[in-house]
Amino acid sequence: MLLQNKVAIITGAARGIGRGIAVKFAEEGCSCVVADILEKEAAVTVAKIADRGQKGLFVECDVSDSRRVSAMVDRATSEFGHVDILVNNASIGGTPKFITDKTEEEWDRLLAINLKGMFLCSKAIVPHMIARKHGKIINISSVQAISPPAPNIEYSASKAGILGLTLDLAFELAPLGICVNAILPGAVPTDMWNIVPPGVDRERFFAEVGKVIAPMQRCGTPEDIAGAAIFLASDLSNYVTGDRIIVAGGAPLLVSSSTDGKFFGTGHQ
């Protein structure tokens, strides 16, 4: 197993990509701390981890609150003795609309969770990794950081900011034996996606979306993202830091305007 006897904190692991990563990590021998605010959904993730023969622990945590983040890390290290891996995955999505229609409150809330949350979680875990002279931090960004398909300025800015955070943190921590990398998922239909028109079958809708936005002609799955995360979390990537892996079925190869806002944007006339 690639992650035998490892311990990971995965934020936003109650569902979606975070759950997919947690379950795959467990299959590779990793115990997982499920850090989230969704207790009911997190219980499902913890059960799936247990089904794979590993220990899962739910810790309620709002990643935008430094006190709760510190308490979460303290609980994790107290329970398991150490933490080898941090997956900064917790995120919310914005509503596609033109900049003049965005509010300051929308900007502040999203940046607090998507970007500040990664800073706080990394800051809290780094001392523990430094003490062990080893660690893996994986930041979940998005292809929207480099190829925005819609007017969703605060979301795109947050995901682009993650790339800067990743590079700087990787540079700081490389001499200390800690690797920091980013994954840029493409379209992965999760509960966070609320773009399906009323009365339209969700599965069929995203099947059609996949044909348009990715050369591989399908949307991604949480398992697709988890595969890259396992590589970055394991010893296979011990000489990889400050890098990014795009997991998007080739989506960046397409011109981002090719959808004409059909699936993601509202446009502005």
Q: Which residues are catalytic?
A: 155
CA dist 55 → 22, 39, 44 (Å): 11, 17, 13
Three-state secondary-structure class, residue 204: helix
> How many DSSP H helices and E strands does the chain contain?
8, 7
CA dist 4 → 13, 34, 53, 81, 263 (Å): 20, 18, 11, 15, 41
**d(Cα 169, Cα 174) in Å, to the nearest integer?**
8
User: Distance between alpha carbon 65 and the CA centroid of its chain, in Å?
Assistant: 18
Q: Are 187 and 160 in contact (CB under 8 A)?
A: no
Q: Are 21 and 27 in contact (CB under 8 A)?
A: no
